[in-house]
Structure 1
């Protein structure tokens, strides 16, 4: 926890207007690579939105689309980098299936309050932009040590989910998984962004794979923020009903 706290260290000599746009430590070649990564990520997000919309229209999302998303991602990672067009198609397919898989949750959010979807997307975009940007302007490799912590946190989440499935869960465990999972994937944004920069400096310019990595983090954060907002909205509605009664 102390390591996460250090990320939010408010030393004024680190965060000021000059350092906000200081990418001098990143070579122009790597900067161009990052532009490709983020542009590809934007297209993947658009594909996911199309997938979610298709679920709302045709009720496509479910277990099969989740398997299709995983299959497309594995196929992408096993495809050689020189088959760029094929890998881009697989990335868009994976994003489309991911959006369709999130579709049932979006359907539920529409029933509660349609504005929650836009609010969750804006909150996700802000969180991603802030933490990914922080990783870019920080010193190189400064936050790579968080990789072990977030991996351990992900393992804890997996074991908790497994135990809940077998022995039954509780609301307290559900809340812990929700908020702790959000913290873990925010940490992954920082770690993955710096790893992408380091790999690019070492010659790994696979922007499709890097975009897939960030898209996975983005989708996980969006789902958790949306669930949190839905839960809070439902609780507020219940409180209003009780006051009226």
Structure 2
């Protein structure tokens, strides 16, 4: 689900756009500010969704469908309807947060500090990878689009293998491989947003949705990795005692 809204617009790029060395224009800089501000609002909405799940147990199939439905509605809405698209993004993020609340509940039961550590780690990683994409002089990271799309297909098959065979190894590979893939998407999507801005596409809400899916995908995987590590440590302590 977290890769549903990933975009692979490689077919719309020419070789000239890939070797573009222009500095980021003031218009695009302002656009990036709006994107990141909207992203922060979406993350806050997702946090509220997780909290509502903990209080009222609302996370499940309906909220998952709500995330997908409002996300698709947002994507196909015209850029001029900024308020409508912003509202749809907040509802979509709230729905995703409710679904993610299922994992948050588990983390709270095991060790609440996992959530804080995972969020700080995700924020640092996001800032570093997105910042690297912004300050890069060349736009060679746009070539990652095709590679990352292929990696998503591999992730899909790994997920299917995990469900069918219940393989712990396949799940572990999917977890760490997915983390690397979505870190790559942070770089790619940031440069994609910059290039789209230079081409006149200033739909900051839809661009914030791209980065939102990247952020929560990385965050979810870091939480799961830390939960597995905590579980393994507890098993070792039980054996030693």
Alignment TM-score > 0.5, same fold: yes
Q: How far 1:162 moved relative to its partner?
A: 2.1
| 1:25–1:140 Cα contact (<8 Å) kept | no
Choose the corresponding residue for 1:148, options 146, 149, 157.
Answer: 146
In structure 1, runs of 5+ residues without a counterpart are: 1-23
TM-score, normalising length: structure 1: 0.88
| Aligned residue runs from structure 1 range 1-245, under 5 A | 25-166=23-164, 168-244=165-241
TM-score for the superposition, normalised by structure 2: 0.89
| Alpha carbons of structure 1 residues 98 and 147: separation in structure 2 relative to 1, 3 Å | same
Show structure 2 runs of 5+ residues with no match.
1-21
Q: Is the contact made by 1:132 and 1:193 (CA closer than 8 Å) also made in structure 2?
A: yes
In the TM superposition, residue 163 of structure 1 has moved relative to its aligned partner by 3.2
Per-residue deviation, 1:103: 0.5
Q: 2:61, 2:46 → 1: CA distance? A: 16
| CA displacement 1:51-86 (0-9 Å, x = unmatched) | 000001111101111110000000111111111111
Distance 1:147 1:157 in 2: 15
Q: How many residues align?
A: 221
Equivalent-residue separation in structure 2 for 1:147 and 1:93 (angstroms):
28
How far apart are 1:142 and its partner, in Å? Answer: 1.9
SS of 1:143's equivalent in the other structure is helix
Q: 1: distance between equivalents of 2:171 and 2:239?
A: 24
- Paired with 2:70 and 2:216, the residues of 1 have a C-alpha distance of 16
RMSD (Å), alpha carbons: 1.3
C-alpha contact (below 8 Å) 1:140/1:194 kept by paired residues? no
Match of 2:4 in 1: none
- Residue 9 of structure 1 corresponds to none
- Secondary structure (helix, strand or coil) at the match of 1:145 reads helix
